[in-house]
């Protein structure tokens, strides 16, 4: 029994070591980037109208990519341009499409999972705009657990208990959820930033879209707002080939093992998390985030945020 457990731990350790590398306190996907790429990001030249969508993984990135694409690209809104979201809002640390970011026309839209201290230096002079989207950690961990099964570079299938521990140790792409959200929240004054929660988008998407438009300085007519909202619902995104990530090759995202757009709800953690696990997160949350005036909704049926 003991020997088996040790062997499993060794195999997990080996799989984590070959899928990820650690750089400046954070784990990255080894297949898609390198320490050099991460270091260069600091010197990326920023234009004043650049927009960065920043998230911890599984917090609604693809959803917000769709929203930003629809807000900024009329051709996406009226269906005249067939461009996938990853091409419209590419990742700065994972340039999987090998794009030349310097030659992209303005306004450039980018995505990132980076912590605040690895972002382009110019952003800290309040150039560009950052939209930071965060989601309650209980739903993030559950979403991440399911997503991991689709992640072909990790040659080890973790059961829920194992993933729970690995996640809390921060040994996942993006590092610790608590450090990421806390870091961005406590440094928000250094950036030109709007912070939005997944749960508020879920609760009232139209208001969230309007808030984002206002921050971005984009004035859309009510009818155009209607289209953004309509095309950004979970149901519609799930069948939108430009938005649902079905176009990703199985070598990068194995769609035989699940759906990227899985459930899209608030409170799914209740279906898998034990009471002890939930209490453990509450405890860590209180310790690491308790002093911040940030509110997450843990279930859409509960109106009291905590």
In whole angstroms, give the CA distance from residue 199 to residue 257.
Answer: 26
Out of 31, 76, 113, 180, which one is annotated catalytic? Answer: 113
d(CA 214, CA 209): 9
Size of the site for ligand A3P (CB under 6 A): 21
Nearer to ligand A3P, 190 or 246 (CB): 246
Nearer to ligand A3P by Cβ, of 67 and 193: the residue is: 67
Q: What is the nearest approach in angstroms of ligand A3P to the Cβ of residue 262?
A: 3
Q: 């002079």: which residue's tokens?
A: 125
Within 10 Å of residue 106's Cβ, how many Cβ atoms? 10
Measured distance between the N- and C-terminal CA atoms of the chain, rounded to whole angstroms: 41
**Which residue, 46 or 180, is less far from ligand A3P as judged by CB?**
180
State the residue for tokens 């070959």: 18
Q: Quote the least distance from Cβ 31 to ligand A3P, whole Å.
A: 17
Residue 210: name the closest of 196, 199, 191 by CA: 196
CA dist 170 → 16, 61, 124, 133, 255 (Å): 12, 19, 25, 19, 25
Helix or strand run (H / E) with residue 53: strand 51-55
Using CB under 6 A as the criterion, what x/- string covers residues 121-150 for binding ligand A3P? ------------------x---x--x----
Q: Which two tokens stand for residue 33?
A: 């980037």
What does R_g of the chain's alpha carbons equal in angstroms?
19
- Helices within 20-60 (DSSP H only): 35-41
Of the candidate spans 44-52, 81-89, 220-228, 262-270, the one that interacts with ligand A3P by CB under 6 A turns out to be: 262-270
* Min CB(59)–ligand A3P separation in Å: 5
Please give the residues from 169 up to 198 whose contact with ligand A3P meets the rule CB under 6 A. Answer: none
38, two tokens: 């991460």
Minimum CB distance to ligand A3P smaller for 46 or for 71: 71
Query: At closest approach, how far in Å is the CB of 200 from ligand A3P?
Result: 12
**Can you list the pairs that 155-162 forms with residues at least 24 positions away whose Cβ atoms lie under 8 Å?**
155/15, 155/18, 155/19, 156/11, 156/12, 156/15, 156/16, 158/12, 160/272, 162/12
Q: What share of the chain is helix, strand, coil (3-state, %, to 5)?
A: 45, 10, 45
Q: Does 57 bind ligand A3P (CB under 6 A)?
A: yes
Question: Is residue 262 involved in binding ligand A3P (CB under 6 A)?
Answer: yes
Q: Which of 179, 183, 264, 282 binds ligand A3P (CB under 6 A)?
A: 264
- Nearest distance from residue 73's CB to ligand A3P, in Å? 17
Nearer to ligand A3P by C-beta: 117 or 234? 234
For position 61 contacting ligand A3P by CB under 6 A, the verdict is yes
Q: Is 113 a catalytic residue?
A: yes
Between 268 and 299, whose beta carbon lies closer to ligand A3P? 268
Per CB under 6 A, contacts with ligand A3P among 197-256 are 202, 232-234, 237
Mask 78-117, x = binds ligand A3P (CB under 6 A)? ----------------------------------------
Residues catalogued as catalytic: 113
Binding residues for ligand A3P, rule: CB under 6 A, are 55, 57-63, 139, 143, 146, 202, 232-234, 237, 261-264, 268
């Amino acid at each position: 029994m003991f020997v088996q457990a040790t062997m499993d731990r060794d195999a997990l350790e080996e799989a984590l070591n070959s899928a990820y590398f650690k750089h400046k306190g954070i784990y990255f996907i080894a297949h898609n980037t390198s320490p050099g790429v991460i270091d260069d990001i600091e010197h990326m030249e920023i234009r004043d109208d650049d927009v960065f969508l920043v998230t911890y993984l599984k917090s609604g990135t693809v959803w917000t990519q769709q929203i930003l694409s629809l807000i900024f690209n009329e051709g996406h809104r009226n269906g005249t341009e067939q461009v996938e979201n990853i091409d419209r809002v590419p990742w700065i640390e994972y340039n999987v499409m090998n794009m030349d970011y310097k030659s992209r026309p303005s306004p450039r839209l980018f995505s990132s999972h980076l912590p605040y201290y690895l972002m382009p230096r110019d952003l800290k002079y309040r150039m560009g705009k950052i939209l930071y989207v965060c989601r309650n950690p209980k739903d993030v961990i559950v979403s991440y657990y399911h997503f991991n099964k689709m992640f072909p570079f990790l040659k080890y299938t973790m059961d829920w208990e194992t993933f729970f521990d690995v996640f809390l140790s921060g040994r996942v792409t993006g590092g610790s959820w608590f450090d990421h959200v806390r870091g961005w929240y406590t440094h928000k004054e250094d950036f030109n930033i709007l912070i939005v929660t997944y749960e508020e988008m879920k609760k009232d998407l139209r208001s969230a879209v309007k808030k984002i438009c206002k921050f971005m300085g984009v004035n859309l007519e009510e009818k155009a707002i209607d289209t953004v909202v309509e095309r950004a619902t979970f149901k519609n995104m799930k069948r939108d080939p430009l938005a649902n990530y079905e176009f990703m090759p199985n070598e990068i995202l194995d769609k035989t093992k699940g759906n990227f757009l899985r459930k899209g709800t608030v409170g799914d953690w209740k279906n898998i998390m034990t009471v002890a696990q939930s209490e453990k997160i509450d405890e860590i949350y209180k310790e690491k985030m308790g002093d911040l005036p940030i509110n997450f909704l843990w279930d859409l049926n509960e109106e009291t945020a905590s």
